[in-house]
Amino acid sequence: MSANKLKILVLDDSEIVLNMVALALTEAGFEVLTAGSLVEFEKTLDLGMPNIILTDIHMPEIRGDNVCRVLKQKLETGSTPIVLFSTLPEDELSALAERAGADGYVSKNAGIDEIVKRVSEISEQVLF
């Protein structure tokens, strides 16, 4: 693993989505961690901060926009870029991301390539 490989943490309760996104991001050169629940997410965060967090909006335990709000208020996670992703209509997703203080958003409806593209754009901001 190269020293400059960025670590992406993906939170989604759908195992299919987690696997597809993880595979695509790994192929794009990222180190990918996944969590299918809030408990897994918290355990993964305890192991070390990722460079970017990609979280689904519709989770059974807590909404992704609420995860974003909480993380943005904490000293240790406040500066970590957070990207919301969902099947919500883009205007709703955009508004939710803005209200939650997210660093970006991407529609799952746009496809896996668009998710990778958006994470790559955010990663360039992290590197520079």
Per-10-residue mean pLDDT, the chain, length 128: 75 95 96 95 90 94 92 88 94 95 93 93 78
* Residue-level pLDDT at 3: 45
* Residue-level pLDDT at 5: 86
* Residue-level pLDDT at 87: 93
CATH superfamily for domain 7-127:
Response regulator (3.40.50.2300)
Residue from 14, 71, 53, 70 nearest 37 by CA: 14
Question: How much of the chain is helix, strand and coil, in % rounded to 5?
Answer: 50, 20, 35
pTM of the model: 0.92
Structure tokens at 51: 């460079």
Confirm if 124 and 28 have CB atoms less than 8 A apart.
no
Q: Residue 6 gets which letter from DSSP?
A: P
